Structure formats: C-alpha cells, structure tokens
Chain A
C-alpha cells in the first residue's frame, strides 16, 4: 500500500509537487500520467525514499524492497546481464545456487533468452535491456514494483510487444504496481486507476473511462485528445 497525503516538494525554487494526495491499494496497478515536469517521477523518488517531502506524508507498506525499472534499464555497463540482475541478491547475501535458480525462473517470466545472460548491456537491444532491467527489479521478489517510463526508449514494434508482455506479467505476479508514463495509450492499457498530473498538481484521479467521460477540467480532455489518433486514420487500422 502506498499513500501520499498533502505532499509538496520544491527543487531549487521550482515546485515539483503541490499538495498531492494519492492512494495505491495493495495488489493494484496505478498509472501516473502526465507530461515532462508534471511531477510524476518525483512521486516515485519519494516512494523510493531517494528524496524527502517538504510537507505532507509519504507512507509505503511494506517499506523495504521495492523493484524499480527505468527507461533503458539503467544496467551497469561493466557487468553482464546475469551479474546486473543478481546484484541485489549478492548484496543480500544469497548463495550462488539460490541466485542461479532465481535467475533461471525469472528469465522465463520476463521472456529473456538465457543465452543473453552472459552478454553485456551494450550488446543487447533496447527491448532486451528493458527485460533485463525488469529481471533485476524482480530478483528479490519485491511486493512493490515501480516502472518509470518502462517503454520510453523502445521502437514501436518492440514497444507494443513488451507492453503486452508487461501487462500479462503484472497480472500474473499480483504485485502493487505504479507505472509512470506520458503516453495516454499506455495509461489505458496498464491502468485500472489513473492519476493525471499537471505542473505538480493532481488534476483528476479515476479510471480511463471516468477521465474521458467526466473531465474535471478542460485540461483533462485536452491532454487525452492530444494523443488520440485522428478519427480519419483509425478507419484504416
């Protein structure tokens, strides 16, 4: 369970979050939607404990072990995929056997070819790097999973494929998941609940349908419409 109550945060005089409250129930998926600078990544950093709020409260339960996946994987360039993925387990003092069997099980979950485990990050495609990043995030089986623009750096085909796979994996694992994206379609595919942010403020919270049907402000409709394909185009697809 994640709860933010009236949280504000300022970075070097710029207000990143302004009185933000939101709640993510255990076992649900929540999408933070907004454009660059809307404050959505700052919420993840607050949840991770990387930054502290200026005002308000951040409550994360259980506090330990959060899986974190970012754009392009953020793999360590000097380590193989396997070494990257097992780092948290090594730091936690797991035996080599335990690491290996967990790695084996997770390669199937994230659909990463086992042959890629001995490769270095620069030898992988963006999609493979993202799967490796997910693998690393899952290695300690965290109850919370935070995905920050997980599909941001992928080409359209890899993006569609991994998006579908991610949704399926999340459904199977039954974890509490927060996905940060600027992409309305991704929000639609991932999210039972969506929080739309603009300039550090929560504009509206609800299902995609609620946002689309009953926009709280003109900004909501404007934001959703801006990314919709032109109606004239959809007839060909």
Chain B
C-alpha cells in the first residue's frame, strides 16, 4: 500500500462519516426515546406516523440514556419530540411533585418553550414486584407489609434508586428498611428476581415481562407513587411548524393506547423478539417496514468506522503536537500527561454525559468525547518516543545545522515513528471499543445494537453489536500493521529497539 492510497482511504472514510444518513428533501423531525422497550416502541410509532403524514421526515434518535440526557437534548433542539411520563415531568424536569395533571404541566412547560400532547392512555407507574411464591410465603400483599421483613434484598434500576419519587421517597413514606439494595440495569433485574438472587425489584406497570413471569405487584396502599401517564413531550416549534403531523399524532395516539395494550406491545418485543418497527407498524395496522438487517449492519458499520476514524484523526492532530511540545519542555510534559491521564480515568459513559450540556446529543459530542479519550496513548508514546532518541545523534543533528521543523521532520519523528505509531494503534483499538458507548447519546454505531440489546435483555442483539465491534478492532489492528510498513522507515523496522 502506498502512502498516497492510505491518504485516499482516510479521505473517503472522513467523507462517508461526514455525510451521515441519507435524507430526503423534507424538513426533519427528530424523535427521541429512552433506552427501554416501551419508549422505543412509542417513539417508533410516532416516527412512523410522522413519515406517513408526509409533512416531514422522521429522524430516529432512539435509546438515549435517561431523562437528563433527553431533556437536555430537547431543550437544545437536538430532538423535537419524545415520549415521557407526567410523573417524571413534574419530579425530574420541573422539580415540582405537586404538578401532576397534563393541563398544569403544559402550562408550566410553556415558558421553557415546550409543550405536551394529550395523554396517550396508558399509565406506566412504578411498582414493587416479588415472585408470587415468595410473596405468599412471606404473606406480603402491600408495600406496608414490607416493613415486617427487613431481611429482604432488592435490585433497583439506577433511576428508581436516585429519584425522589423512587426508592428514597418510598422508603421514607413507608418507613422501610431492606438488608441489601443493589443497583442494576432495569432489563437485568427480572433475571435477578427470577433466579432468586434478590427478593424485590422495581417494575413498570406496563412491562411486557409481567405477563411471562409469575409476579405479585405490591399494592401502593398509602398512595406514594404519582401518576405516570404517558404523553408526548415536544418543543413548541414542532406543532407550530408541522400542524398536520401534530394533528395526526393526536388523532392516532391520544387515548388510544391503554395500559393493557402497551403491556402487550412490550411483550411482543420483549418476549417474542419482534422488532420495534414491526410492533409499531402492527399497532398502526400497516405492513412492517422492509428494513433489512444486513443493510442496518452496513449502516452501523459505516457509522462506527466514521466515529473511530474522525475521533482518531482529531486525536492524532491534537495529540501529536501536544506530545512534541511536551517532549521539549519537561514541566509541560508532566502537566499534559497528568491532564490526559485524568481524562482516561473518567468512565467513558460519564465523559459522554459531560459533553451533552456543551454539544447536545448525537455525533458531535460523541466525537469530542472519543477524541479526548484517545489522546493519552498518543501523547504518552510521542513523549516517550521523542524522549528516548540517542543524544549523540541529536547532538550530531545540531552540528550538521539541521534545526526547527527539519530536525523534527527529517530526524526526530522518523526515528520515533515506531513508538508513536504504536501509541496511535493502541488508541485506535481502544476507540473501537469506547465508540460503542456513543449510542447512549445518540452517536450511532454498533453501540446502538448493544443499547437495544440491553433494553431488551436480549443477548443475541448485544452480541450482534459486540462481535462486529471486536472484529473491527482486529481489522484496525491489522490495518495499522500495514500502515507501519508505509510510515516507519524501512531500516528502522529491521533494527532491534535499543
């Protein structure tokens, strides 16, 4: 492979990633969803109605990680509409638990530039669930009854554990104590309950799993849980700009989707493994979309490769100069290495979350976070590579009158190229893995399948994202071996590193 063809390939990859998705000439309505089944399904129904109405084109930004991320995205205009619950709006967004009715909430949201549709019809409230045999054995029927069993263990979703309308409030309201409370992704809590590893989990009243597992939902006898009526939360600009679409959504959805219906739709996805799009189409009594799995894989591969290529390119363009600068000044080197090391210690998901207030959701914040994450190996290896050059040869460089950029380009970078490229290679492989997290903030890529798989508790879907990601890491490793042959001077490749 020649130097020129490498440049060409990188160029094409950059172009592909820049283009992103193909869009027809219609205005775009961005539909968001949280990363659990019900939210995916309702958002998919909304997207299909938008497309069907023909006034705009729906862009799906599904599976975003939580209320905070979605609300920020909505406020910033990165999404236009997503399914939310009245209780969540009052507690988590307006921070006022007394606001519960759709009308009151709509008034309170107006100053924020947001609006609500009519309630869809189902109520997805929190509930606590036990296995029926266990509940009977303990003679527990209501939440109040739990006070008599402080030895019980629970697994709660992170949201439920933290929210005032979740466990903290519930515990105070009922005066409850439990022996052990674990944090667990909602999709995994059912398995933990079914296997008997915990006694108690939080569920939603519309969970599809409720049908399959023989569970007892405890009665909220002292009426703690607020209403969680499903509504569409939208930017005011959306009904204003797309009145026909908004009318269609109201007509097709308002009051049409009751708790039992939603629970059945959830079960179709969770238990029968049908796709969100399929289930949404079935609800709308349309033919299922013909989106082939292979086409999706191609799209996700391009997205993933685009994320990795752009993030790595940026990291090299920033990291290499940083490394060169640091190699010149020892004190700066320590500061820099400390800085990029601290970045590395931030959990990937947290770093992505930090990006949202700055860059919203989607590809941009994902790219910024991935680039920052990719810096450490590049900076460190550049510093190490330039710092370990033979001082006799550097002295000779000065004597020969080779200075400034020539010294860097002719002598230092070529001699350090093996070490520097090793750093870039490490970064690239690392970034392929980290890029799977981008899906949590709508960045796309293989992570989309992993997030969906986690929402569905479906190992096959998780693997459908994880395996190609691992293969891509291997392929990129191979590609860099080839790149070594182009970029590392011939003579250095044969030399032992001394």
Contact = CB atoms under 8 A, between A and B. Distances in A.
Contacts of B489: 78-79
Nearest to B492: A78
Interface string B401-419: 1110010001100110000
Contacts of A79: 489, 491
Contact of A78 (B395, B399, B415): B415
Interface string B466-478: 0000000000000
A48 interface: yes
17 contacts: A48-B399, A50-B395, A50-B398, A68-B399, A70-B396, A76-B393, A77-B415, A77-B495, A78-B414, A87-B410, A88-B400, A91-B402, A91-B403, A122-B491, A122-B494, A122-B495, A136-B400
A74 interface: yes
A76 B415 contact: yes
Interface string A49-77: 01000000000000001101010001011
Most chain A CB neighbours (cut-off 10 Å) among B393, B411, B491, B495: B491
B392 interface: yes
Nearest to B400: A88
A211 B494 CA distance: 48
B491 A120 contact: yes
What interface size band does chain B fall in?
20 to 34
Interface string B455-498: 00000000000000000000000000000000001111011000
B394 to A, nearest CB: 10
B392 A88 contact: no
B238 to A, nearest CB: 60
Interface of A: 48, 50, 65-66, 68, 70, 74, 76-80, 87-88, 91-92, 120-122, 136
Contacts of A88: 400-402
Output the residue of A76, A87, A136 with the most chain B CB within 10 A: A76
Contacts of A50: 395, 398-399
Contact of B490 (A65, A66, A92, A120): A120
A213 to B, nearest CB: 37
A87 B403 CA distance: 11
Contacts of A70: 392, 396
Given A74-B392, A76-B411, A78-B492, A91 B401 contact: yes
Contacts of B410: 87
A91 B410 CA distance: 10
| 6 pairs of A and B residues whose beta carbons are closest in the complex | A78-B489, A120-B491, A88-B400, A68-B399, A74-B396, A78-B414
Q: Which of B396, B490, B495 has most chain A Cβ within 10 Å?
A: B396
B403 to A, nearest CB: 8
A77 B492 contact: yes
Given A74-B393, A78-B490, A79-B489, 15 more contacts: A74-B392, A74-B396, A76-B393, A76-B415, A77-B415, A78-B415, A87-B402, A87-B410, A91-B402, A91-B406, A92-B401, A120-B490, A120-B491, A122-B494, A136-B400
A136 B495 CA distance: 22
Residue from B392, B399, B406, B414 whose CB has the most chain A CB atoms within 10 Å: B399
A66 B399 contact: yes
Contacts of A68: 396, 399-400
A81 to B, nearest CB: 11
Nearest to B404: A91
Nearest to A44: B399
B488 to A, nearest CB: 8
A120 B398 CA distance: 21
A154 B189 CA distance: 75
Nearest to B395: A50
A88 B396 CA distance: 11
Name the residue in A65, A80, A87, A92 with the highest tally of chain B Cβ atoms < 10 Å from its Cβ.
A87
A176 B491 CA distance: 35
Contacts of A74: 392-393, 396
A122 B498 CA distance: 13
